Amino acid sequence: MTATTARAGIEPAARMVEFTSPMHGLAPHTTFTLEHIAGADGLYALRATDADVRLFVVEAPFVDRSYAPQVPASVRAEIGASAGDALQVLVVANPGDDGVHVNLRAPIVVHPANGRAVQVILEDQRYPIRSLLGGR
């Protein structure tokens, strides 16, 4: 699995992302824009197109370079990705008084070529639901 990121200071405009099913807790919303947050590498706002719903998400390599969850073949098929297609992996970031926590157990997998996405709930217990960003 390979994550893709914008490089060389050239950030794409907000792009549409269509989830194959609503993310946990966000039903019925499935269509979002993914907007890069200027000045913050790897940070995006994921905004529902039909409601005032916004999440902050971070590209996985900016969270932890060793974070590499296995994307099942069934998930790849669900978003129209072949085994060799590069995927963008994002994790939800939740700011709080004690820092920013990310959910490594439920990454969002986006097929950049077609904008289809799915939130994967991993069974791998080594990935925490609430991990302090930059903390160890």
pLDDT digits (tens, 9 = 90+) for 34-82: 999 999 899 999 999 999 999 999 999 888 888 888 889 999 999 999 9
Tokens of 114: 């077609």
C-alpha dihedral over 9, 14, 15, 16, to 10 degrees? 160
Confidence of residue 11 (pLDDT cuts 50, 70, 90): very low
Q: What is the pLDDT of residue 12?
A: 55
Answer whether residue 4 shows pLDDT above 50: no
SS (H, E, C) the chain: CCCCCCCCCCCCCCEEEEECCCCCCCCCCCEEEEEECCCCCCEEEEEECCCCCEEEEEEHHHHCCCCCCCCCHHHHHHCCCCCCCCCEEEEEEEEECCEEEECCCCCEEECCCCCEEEECCCCCCCCCCCEECCCC
Confidence of residue 134 (pLDDT cuts 50, 70, 90): confident
Pick 98 or 8 by higher pLDDT. 98
pTM of the model: 0.86
Answer whether residue 2 shows pLDDT above 80: no
Q: What is the pLDDT of residue 124?
A: 83
Confidence of residue 3 (pLDDT cuts 50, 70, 90): very low
Answer whether residue 136 shows pLDDT above 60: no
Answer whether residue 19 shows pLDDT above 90: yes
